Amino acid sequence: MRKITILLLLAFFVVLSSSAQFKMSEGSKKVATTMAVIENMYVDKVDDNKLAEDAIKSLLEKLDPHSTYISAEEVKEMNEPLEGNFDGIGISFNMLTDTLYVIETIPGGPSEKVGLRAGDKIIYVNDTLIAGVKRSTKFVTSRLKGPKGTTVNVKVLRRGVPDLLNFKITRAKIPVYSIDASYMIDNNTGYIRITRFGATTSKEFSDAVKKLKDMGMANLLLDLESNGGGYMAPAIDLSDDFLEQGKLIVYTEGSRQPRRDEVATGKGSFEQGKLVIMINEGSASASEILSGAVQDWDRGVIVGRRSFGKGLVQRPIPLPDESMIRLTVARYYTPTGRSIQKPYTSGDLMSYNKDVIERYNRGEMMHADSIHFPDSLKYQTLVNKRTVYGGGGIMPDYFVPADTSRYTPYLGSIGNRGVLYKVAYEEVDNHRDEIKRKYPTKEDFYESYNVSDAIMKRLIAAGEEEKIEFNQEQYDKSEEVFKYQIKGLIGRDVYDMETLIKVFNDHSDTFKKAYEIIKDDRLYNKLLGK
């Protein structure tokens, strides 16, 4: 009898079989028996592994939106951004018009060491043509990545050089960072943006806080907008940085999992000073643990829009073929006892995933009074006794509506077709050295660079090449958005991601309001109920 399929289906039982409390139900035995009968008696040949995967997926879909089956390949792809490194050649790139453009080479990485530059176009990877043949980003990435110490040969087209350049690159460990911007907004206000909670987030945050404190930071604006979470441990570590010793950060509990409390140790690197955290509908999981702890202890002000509402705890359970089950075993609760998880109906994954769209349709993105909570979901903060709400996600202390005033169908078409990226890349490709001569530092660029009328004419022409009909009225309404997005993209490509973030923040209503609050003692204290 072939056993692999049964093992795949029941691997999580095997993992837990050492527990004296574990028992296999009659229903589980029935499923395993059915699989074995199909394998050995079914009239036609079947793909045992595929059948097992489908069965597992079907079982998990009946539970909750976050209990999932992940294939071996997906496990590796999922872990890389969180583990803090991966094996590769050390570049950031984008595929544009079927060509791989190198945005930047990682400092000290293998590509920089052999002479690859930002602006280079990779045409061949190991004699496989990747330019002009509609290769997917996943296809290209799979050929550039590989085990540390192995080599990859690339042929590159460089501006001003008539022939292709050959590079032999030895792959190495490439760092993946969680923080893509940390800078001083003014003499005493710092800003840190965290994009994910990974293995290196705690150290990155500690280093960023130290750097900014050395520059005079007394107050901190922490940006968690669209941070979908990641590992729980760094969210607890960062909460610990803000909270005094002995204060509850978060607790987890499930019907088969006893309550587990996570408590601040008093190691905090930023227990004093004003704190404002920015969140939105894309902030989830670990972001909500941190925001909820800060809000419940009245430690800082939360600004933006209601967060996603992902408060289910998954335990990874490896299967024999290196695939994985992520099974929900408990729920997250903030210190006041609020469940972070938004409501869901078992088996209705489509409605769950469309929740953010429904929020928009209900007007929640534009008007705080469109959000209604029953009295049963009211809680009081632990110090100042302010009213906060449970029922899914973290409701900010100050609501900032989504800005739709400059959105037009023309803007949407230009953005969706990649025209902005194309125009920015071409400007950098043609004028990189000129830009760097005129603006020697990223600060010079941020303060003084303006998008020219000539660039905007190229934007319109590039849109028409993509069969996007020009609309003067809509263009005028969205012109400011076009300009700052192009400036940000050029700044990223010539300097770094922080330059893009700074440009975009200047046009973010949430950032502007968060900064206003942190600078206004009276408003800050009023929002905290002091």
Least Cα distance to 500 among 509, 510, 508, 491 occurs for: 491
Spatial neighbors of 515 by CB under 8 A, at least 6 apart, are 185, 189, 221, 276
261 to each of 39, 189, 333, 334, 340, how far by Cα in Å? 45, 32, 10, 10, 15
State the DSSP H helix or E strand holding residue 129, giving kind and residue range, or none if neither: strand 128-129
Alpha-carbon distance of 304 to 306, in angstroms, equals 7
CB environment 62-80: b (16+ within 10 A), e (fewer):
eebbbbbbbeeeebeeeeb
Tell me the three state secondary structure of residue 83: helix
Q: Contact at 8 Å (CB) between 119 and 102?
A: yes
Could you confirm whether 285 is annotated as catalytic? yes
Number of helices (H), then strands (E), in the chain: 19, 21
312 to each of 74, 112, 295, 341, 395, how far by Cα in Å? 21, 42, 20, 6, 18
Q: Contact at 8 Å (CB) between 423 and 452?
A: no
Nearest-10 Cα torsion for 485, 489, 495, 500: 40
* Active-site pick, 241, 296, 298, 493: 296
Could you confirm whether 369 is annotated as catalytic? no
Q: What's 275-337 look like in SS3?
A: EEEEECCCCCCHHHHHHHHHHHCCCCEEEECCCCCCCEEEEEEECCCCCEEEEEEEEEECCCC
Least Cα distance to 328 among 341, 339, 312 occurs for: 312
Could you confirm whether 163 is annotated as catalytic? no
Alpha-carbon distance of 396 to 389, in angstroms, equals 10
β-pairing, 275-279 vs 219-223, is parallel
Q: Contact at 8 Å (CB) between 146 and 128?
A: no
Instruction: Give, to the nearest 10 degrees, the angle between helix 48-61 and helix 26-41.
Output: 150
Alpha-carbon distance of 517 to 480, in angstroms, equals 25
* Active-site pick, 111, 202, 239, 285: 285
Nearest-10 Cα torsion for 462, 468, 473, 477: -70
Amino acid sitting at position 147: P
Least Cα distance to 366 among 334, 399, 341 occurs for: 399
* Active-site pick, 155, 310, 342, 483: 310
369 to each of 263, 345, 359, 400, how far by Cα in Å? 34, 25, 12, 12
**Which residues carry out catalysis?**
285, 296, 310
